[in-house]
C-alpha cells in the first residue's frame, strides 16, 4: 500500500465539444504547491496521470501499471500512460518536473531522470537488422491499439530504432531493440531500450484526488478552490466504494490503534447544510440526499448542543468504511484529510 503521495492537480477551466480544456494559472500553480505541503515523496497525480518516481526498467514499469487499477471502478487492468493529445503531453512534463526538477539534473540530455516511461511501443517489424528500419507510425501502438498518427512529438531524428548486441551498453539479451518510448521534461519523445531505468506513468481514471494534510473543512474548501477544484461529491454506492479504495490507496492503511472518531478515519467532502439546517447540498446546489445516503445513526440532523460555542455540525465527511457524518467546520475543531473532485466527473 502506498502511504506517501505528492498530489498535483491539473484543472479544467471549461468544456468544449464534450472535452475538457485545461489551463493552469500562476495562482492555481501556487494552490497546487500548497497541496504538496507535508506530504511524502514517490507519487505525483493529475486527474489523468499517475507518475511514480521510482526508477525501473520498461518491463517492470509495464507490469506495475497493469496491476494499477485505482479509479477504474470495475477492476480493469491498468496500462502505461497513453499520451495522445497536447494537453496530456504537457501534463506528463509537469509531473516529471515535479518529481525530478530539470535544473537539478545533470546536463546530459540522456540522463535517466530526464525521462519517463510512456505506453507507446513498437509492435510490428521488430526484426533485428544492421540498418535501422524506416519509421512507420502504424508499427507503434498505445494500449488501446491506436497509433501515433495525428499526434506525435518525436525528437529530431527520432525514432532512430537502433539495436544492440548482447554485452553492449547494458544489453543482456541476444539483441536489444529500441521498441519502447520515453518522454522528457519538454514533452519530446524518444525510442529506447527496455533495460533503461526511468520513472514511469500510468493512466488514471478516477474521480478523486485526496490530500493527507489535515485541514478544517473551510481550509480544505479553500485548498481545492485555490487549485481550481472543488471539494468532492459522492453521489452513489458505486462512488462510495471508489472513495473507500481511494482513501486506502492515497492515505495508507488504517491503523488498528485508531478509534472511530480518529481524524485519520475521516475525509472531508464538499457537502454542507450551513444555509438551511438539515438540508444537505453539494457546493453546486445539488441535493446530497437524493439517493440512499449511508449516514451514521442520527447523523445529518444532530446539532452542536454537546459542544458549547461551536457553530454547528454543518460540514460533511465520509469514513474509511463508507459512512457519512456531519461535523464541525470551526477553525478550532476538526482537522482531517480531504478529497478534491476531478473536473467533469
Preceding amide of 159 cis, omega within 30: yes
pLDDT at 275: 83
Q: Is 299 in contact with 305 (CB distance < 8 Å)?
A: no
The pLDDT value given to residue 41: 55
What is the pLDDT, as a whole number, of residue 333? 73
The beta strand positions in the chain, using DSSP E, are 6-7, 12-16, 19-22, 43-45, 49-56, 115-122, 140-141, 163-165, 175-177, 180-184, 189-192, 198-203, 208-215, 266-272, 281-282, 315-319, 324-327, 336-341
Task: Tell me, rounded to whole angstroms, the distance of Cα 33 from its chain centroid.
Answer: 15
* 8-state DSSP, 41: S
- Residue (of 138, 88, 330) closest to 218 by Cα position: 330
What b/e string do you get for 74-83 counting C-beta neighbours within 10 Å, with b at 16 or more? eeeebbbbbb
In this predicted structure, what is the pLDDT of residue 165? 87
**How high is the pLDDT of residue 38?**
44
pLDDT value of residue 43:
76
Nearest to 344 by CA among 1, 4, 22, 8: 22
What is the reported pLDDT for 312? 66
The answer to whether the beta carbons of residues 128 and 176 sit under 8 Å apart is: no
Question: Which grid coordinates are listed for 104?
Answer: 537539478
274 grid coordinates: 450551513
Q: Give CA–CA dist 116/65, Å, rounded.
A: 13
- 8 A C-beta contact, residue 218 and residue 328: no
pLDDT of residue 276: 84
Predicted pLDDT of residue 21:
37
> What domains lie within the chain, and their CATH numbers?
48-203 (3.10.100.10), 210-341 (3.10.100.10)
pLDDT mean values, one per 10 residues, the chain (345 residues): 41 32 47 51 77 94 86 72 93 89 95 98 81 86 92 95 88 91 97 97 87 90 85 94 85 89 94 85 90 80 45 85 85 84 85
Termini Cα distance of the chain: 25
**pLDDT of 91:** 86
CA angle 155, 161, 164 (to 5 degrees): 130
Amino acid at each position: 500500500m502506498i502511504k506517501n503521495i505528492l498530489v498535483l492537480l491539473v484543472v479544467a477551466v471549461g468544456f468544449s465539444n464534450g472535452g475538457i480544456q485545461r489551463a493552469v494559472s500562476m495562482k492555481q500553480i501556487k494552490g497546487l504547491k500548497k497541496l504538496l505541503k507535508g506530504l511524502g515523496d514517490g507519487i505525483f497525480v493529475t486527474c489523468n496521470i499517475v507518475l511514480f518516481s521510482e526508477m525501473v526498467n520498461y518491463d517492470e514499469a509495464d507490469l506495475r501499471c497493469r496491476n494499477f487499477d485505482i479509479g477504474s471502478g470495475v477492476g480493469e487492468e491498468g496500462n502505461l500512460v497513453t499520451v495522445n493529445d497536447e494537453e496530456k503531453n504537457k501534463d506528463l512534463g509537469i509531473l516529471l518536473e515535479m518529481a525530478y526538477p530539470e535544473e537539478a539534473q545533470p546536463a546530459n540530455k540522456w540522463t535517466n531522470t530526464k525521462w519517463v516511461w510512456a505506453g507507446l511501443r513498437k509492435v510490428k517489424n521488430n526484426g533485428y537488422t544492421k540498418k535501422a528500419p524506416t519509421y512507420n507510425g502504424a508499427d507503434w501502438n498505445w494500449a488501446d491499439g491506436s497509433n501515433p498518427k495525428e499526434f506525435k512529438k518525436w525528437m529530431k531524428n527520432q525514432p532512430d530504432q537502433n539495436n544492440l548486441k548482447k554485452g553492449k551498453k547494458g544489453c543482456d539479451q541476444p539483441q536489444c531493440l529500441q521498441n519502447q518510448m520515453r518522454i522528457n521534461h519538454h514533452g519530446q519523445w524518444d525510442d529506447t531500450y527496455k533495460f533503461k531505468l526511468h520513472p514511469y506513468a500510468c493512466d488514471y481514471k478516477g474521480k478523486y484526488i485526496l490530500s493527507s494534510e489535515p485541514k478544517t473543512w473551510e481550509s480544505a474548501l479553500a485548498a481545492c478552490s485555490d487549485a481550481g477544484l472543488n471539494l468532492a461529491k459522492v453521489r452513489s454506492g458505486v462512488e462510495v466504494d471508489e472513495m473507500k479504495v481511494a482513501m486506502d490507496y492515497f492515505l495508507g492503511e488504517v491503523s488498528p490503534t485508531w478509534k472511530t472518531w480518529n481524524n485519520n478515519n475521516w475525509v472531508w467532502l464538499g457537502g454542507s447544510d450551513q444555509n438551511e439546517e438539515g438540508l444537505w447540498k453539494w457546493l453546486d446546489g445539488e441535493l446530497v440526499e437524493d439517493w440512499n445516503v449511508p449516514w451514521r445513526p442520527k447523523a445529518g440532523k444532530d446539532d452542536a448542543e454537546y459542544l458549547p460555542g461551536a457553530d454547528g455540525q454543518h460540514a460533511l465527511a465520509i469514513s474509511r468504511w463508507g459512512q457519512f457524518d456531519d461535523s464541525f467546520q470551526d477553525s478550532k475543531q476538526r482537522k482531517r484529510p480531504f478529497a478534491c473532485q476531478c473536473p467533469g466527473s
